[in-house]
Amino acid sequence: MLTTLRRIVLEFSQEAELQNALERMVYNVKKAINTDCCTIYLADYHQQNFILMASDGLAKNAQGQTRVSFSQGLVGLVAQREEPLNIANAQQHQDFVHAPEVEEEAYNAFLGTPIIHQRKVLGVLAIQQKKSRHFTANDEAFLVTLATQLAGALANAEIKRLLRQQQDNKQSVKQLYGIAGSPGIALSEIFVCQPQADFTGVPLKKSVDIDQQVLIFERAVHKTRAEFTSLSRQLNESIDDDSLIIFDVYQQLLDQANLGREITEKIVLGWRADSALKLVIEHYISQFEAIEDSYLCERSSDIRDLGIRLLANLQQQTKQEQQLPHAFILLAQDVSASMVAQYQHQGLLGVISLSGSNNSHAAILARSLGLPAIMGVNAVVLSQLHQQQAIIDGYSGELFINPNDSLIAQYQHLLSQEKALTDKVMKVAHLPCMTRDGKTIEVLLNAGLSAGFEHSAKLGALGIGLYRTEIPFMNRSCFPSEQEQTKLYRKVLQAFPEHGVTMRTLDVGGDKSLPYFPISEENPFLGWRGIRITLDHPDIFLVQVRAMLRANQDINNLEIILPMISGVEEVDEAISLINQAFFELKTELVTDINAQLMSKNSSNDELTFQQAQRKAQKTAAGLVRPKIGIMLEVPAVIFQMEALAKRVDFFSVGSNDLTQYLLAVDRNNSQVATLYDAFHPAVLKALYSIAQQSAQHGRAISLCGELAAQPAGAILLLAMGFDKISMNGHNVPRIKWVIRHITLAQAHTMLDKTLTLTTPKQVHSYLNEQLELLGLGSFIRAG
């Protein structure tokens, strides 16, 4: 039976026309089970009914014509119950509805099962027989298994069918779904971007003229390097944050010490330049795509983009001037960061990528540029969407093809609201984050790399609440040296000299790993990650801490935070290492100053000695031991707050991971991602407990995570007693506006009621209702 199941599903998936696929499928099922009739009904959610799409046994003229209400008949009952229904005599059942046109009077036995995809009933698959009997357990198991396997294929086939339909019916609106990669809304026509070159057409050939092939490759590298430099320079006029690092990565890969060296070696072995390029690029793409880690897997897109640009320059393709619309939404099979950079100043309004995730560099860059983006839109044929009008909703991940006037008007209204809202909040971005009755809460920035923070400062962020140090470690081929880290960290600390900068020690593992430090685990989120790795490798930890301390010299705005803490012993060991690094560095600095001064004057007189001593003391005074805090991400720490408070200076909640661990939900897993909700009552109660315990033990408490960037979330955190919240720069002025337009008493009222609710749905409904009553309804979507 397993072979039969696979064959039926495979035939269904390979059929280009949905109707043909359905008709072939019901024929195969009827034959496999040896019954008298097999029928499939598909759901029409606009009409709220099921349509009989294909049948082998019922009247042929009923196909595409007969409809059954969601709430009527045996088909409706199967869908409502969302489970199989096995009836010996269907016509005697109380829910049976007689439909003369289908000609089923001869059938008695009925077995129906729902076809469900991502919690949505797509249709009902039913078999019938003239003899009155219950179908066997094997029959039922076969049908249920088939329906389960058909669900995904049917969802994709339905999308393709509707896209083809709308070519004939321009009034048809199709709604597709992807991953929300960057927030925002765009209304425009789609411009499909095809690759400049294609490796599939490159033959593997050798050449006897090695010097000539090396020269050709070097010229292509030079031209490609110039292209990336130009793109980076153009972008630098618009943004100056960590997303620009991708072009540094590309330049490093082009160096002879990286990909360039490997390609040259292949050429020296006799391969033609384009063949050598193909061999190396495709090797790296396959390696990256095999990695389970989502961040590193996305790097295959960067390698592919680099390879295609090199190939195009190798082939000396003259780029035809593309007739770009005045304004457009970019669509490609795999949108790369360089594509976004290339088109961002030519009318680009939004991005759609058929592959990728919100970890891709294209999504990161889109967020930095304020461009809405949707990633991972499946089952779309590029040629069908070129020059189609579309709306992309970067908040929800929805894509509307060929929107009607009503939908366009709705989203144009949302766009105008967004612009008005942005203009409004920016006028007060520089003002303190204070409620109407005088309660303040610090709004800080979440940051990654060391590039300038001028834009973020203009948005009203007082400092950096979370600086993720792991990203520089990822974009390299080896661990960065102490000197490299010191230079990087000092630039960050200097960006906010009057305010605190909280730097998190290396936090890899889970969904973040290093290409030169691979971690292979069955369950990485519960494995070797965060502080567990750096305590097992004190050499890595000490170098990083020394770099932080050295960068902080004479600035003194550094705070160090430890990630993934689950127990007191980890804190004790980490603090011991930090103290070791501090005293070693202090001694080293004083010794170096003394040696330098004494060597300048060989006469050991009293004056020289006193000068050296004073300078050494001044140097030592400039090196200050920073405050040390821990990330509260593992639920176990909630029950150890008293002991932890005796050891650290402050706490910071990592709400994303805490939510994930409390709810046992991998938020990167599309199958369960809908269960991930920071407004879950259990999460909110855990946060309230943490805030109360922090106050009881006299420790400052902050939160960095998506919850802080939600208007309702920020209000609840304020009422709970959080001292600081940190978020992406885009949300800083919006959250400050919200806090400035409420009172602490109103926030407490909202919190008290919220803590009595029992489901996330109740929480969201109540909080949205309260925001509307407070005149803050426009922030619900914007947050």
DSSP-assigned states of every residue in 513-568:
-BTTB----SSGGGSS-THHHHHH-HHHHHHHHHHHHHHTTTT--EEEEE-S--SH
pLDDT at 611 over 50: yes
* Residue 711, H or E segment: helix 711-720
What per-residue confidence (pLDDT) applies to 278?
A: 87
pLDDT at 421 over 60: yes
What per-residue confidence (pLDDT) applies to 455?
A: 47
The C-alpha atoms of residue 773 and residue 765 are separated, in whole angstroms, by 12
Compute the radius of gyration of the chain from its Cα atoms.
31
pLDDT at 166 over 50: no
Mean pLDDT is lowest, of 69-78, 134-143, 180-189, for 180-189
User: Is residue 586 assigned to a domain?
Assistant: no
Mean pLDDT is lowest, of 156-160, 266-270, 355-359, 680-684, for 156-160
User: Is residue 480 assigned to a domain?
Assistant: yes
User: Is residue 569 assigned to a domain?
Assistant: yes
What per-residue confidence (pLDDT) applies to 745?
A: 96
User: Is residue 640 assigned to a domain?
Assistant: yes
The strand ranges marked E within 262-405 are 328-332, 348-353, 373-375, 389-393, 398-401
Mean pLDDT is lowest, of 377-381, 421-425, 472-476, for 377-381
Average pLDDT rounded to a whole number, residues 504-531:
76
The C-alpha atoms of residue 559 and residue 672 are separated, in whole angstroms, by 36
What percentage of residues in the chain have a pLDDT greater than 90? 43
**Residue numbers of the domain that contains 385:** 175-192+321-422
Q: Which amino acid is at 776?
A: L
Residue 227 shares a structural domain with residue 181? no
Residue 552 shares a structural domain with residue 700? yes
pLDDT at 27 over 60: yes
User: Is residue 775 assigned to a domain?
Assistant: yes
The SS3 call for residue 55 is strand
What per-residue confidence (pLDDT) applies to 358?
A: 65
Catalytic residue among 37, 297, 704, 730: 704
What per-residue confidence (pLDDT) applies to 354?
A: 83
Contact assessment for residue 500 and residue 557, using Cβ atoms and an 8 Å cutoff: yes
What per-residue confidence (pLDDT) applies to 515?
A: 64
Which one has a higher pLDDT value, 98 or 288? 98
What percentage of residues in the chain have a pLDDT greater than 70? 81
Average pLDDT rounded to a whole number, residues 110-121:
89
What per-residue confidence (pLDDT) applies to 328?
A: 94
Q: Is the dihedral of CA 146, 147, 149, 150 positive or negative?
A: positive
Which one has a higher pLDDT value, 380 or 131? 131
| Confidence bin at 318 (pLDDT 50/70/90) | very low
Which one has a higher pLDDT value, 323 or 361? 323
Contacts of 472 (CB under 8 A, 6+ apart): 449, 450, 480, 485, 488
Residue 638 shares a structural domain with residue 728? yes
What per-residue confidence (pLDDT) applies to 169?
A: 47
Residue 520 shares a structural domain with residue 639? yes
Number of domains comprising the chain: 4
Which one has a higher pLDDT value, 197 or 262? 262
Residue 412 shares a structural domain with residue 326? yes
User: Is residue 600 assigned to a domain?
Assistant: no
Residue 515 shares a structural domain with residue 564? yes
User: Is residue 147 assigned to a domain?
Assistant: yes
Residue from 103, 49, 44, 97 nearest 73 by CA = 97
**For 178-226, how does the pLDDT look when each residue is reduced to its tens digit (9 = 90+)?**
888 888 899 999 998 876 677 766 778 888 888 888 888 888 888 888 8
Residue 654 shares a structural domain with residue 767? yes
Mean pLDDT is lowest, of 5-19, 167-181, 348-362, 477-491, for 167-181
pTM over 0.75: no
Which one has a higher pLDDT value, 389 or 591? 389
Question: Hey, which of 221-225, 268-272, 555-559 has the most confident mean pLDDT?
Answer: 555-559
Question: Hey, which of 24-33, 186-195, 254-263, 614-623 has the most confident mean pLDDT?
Answer: 24-33
107: domain CATH number? Answer: 3.30.450.40
Average pLDDT, the chain: 83
The SS3 call for residue 295 is helix
User: Is residue 608 assigned to a domain?
Assistant: no
What per-residue confidence (pLDDT) applies to 615?
A: 61
Average pLDDT rounded to a whole number, residues 119-134:
92
What per-residue confidence (pLDDT) applies to 163?
A: 45
Catalytic residue among 361, 433, 680, 730: 361
Average pLDDT rounded to a whole number, residues 138-157:
84
What per-residue confidence (pLDDT) applies to 454?
A: 44
Last residue of a domain, one of 357, 389, 422: 422
What per-residue confidence (pLDDT) applies to 450?
A: 38
Q: Which amino acid is at 342?
A: Q
The percent helix, strand, coil of the chain (3-state, each to 5) is: 50, 15, 30
478 is catalytic: no
Residue 494 shares a structural domain with residue 574? yes
Residue 339 shares a structural domain with residue 370? yes
305: domain CATH number? Answer: 1.10.274.10
Mean pLDDT is lowest, of 352-361, 614-623, 737-746, for 614-623
The C-alpha atoms of residue 574 and residue 685 are separated, in whole angstroms, by 29
Residue 225 shares a structural domain with residue 182? no
What per-residue confidence (pLDDT) applies to 87?
A: 95
Give the sheet arrangement for strand 328-332, strand by strand: 174-177, 398-401, 389-393, 185-192, 328-332, 348-353, 373-375, 179-182
pLDDT at 17 over 80: no
pLDDT at 456 over 60: no
381: domain CATH number? Answer: 3.50.30.10
What per-residue confidence (pLDDT) applies to 83?
A: 92
361 is catalytic: yes
**For 645-664, how does the pLDDT look when each residue is reduced to its tens digit (9 = 90+)?**
999 999 999 998 899 899 99
| Confidence bin at 293 (pLDDT 50/70/90) | low
Last residue of a domain, one of 422, 442, 473: 422
The SS3 call for residue 53 is strand
Which one has a higher pLDDT value, 459 or 168? 459
pLDDT at 610 over 70: no
Residue 354 shares a structural domain with residue 217? no
What per-residue confidence (pLDDT) applies to 170?
A: 45
Average pLDDT rounded to a whole number, residues 548-564:
95
pLDDT at 564 over 90: yes
Residue 440 shares a structural domain with residue 332? no
Last residue of a domain, one of 361, 394, 422: 422
Q: Residue 184 is encoded by which pair of tokens?
A: 């925002």
The strand ranges marked E within 593-688 are 627-632, 650-654
| Confidence bin at 451 (pLDDT 50/70/90) | very low
What per-residue confidence (pLDDT) applies to 15?
A: 72
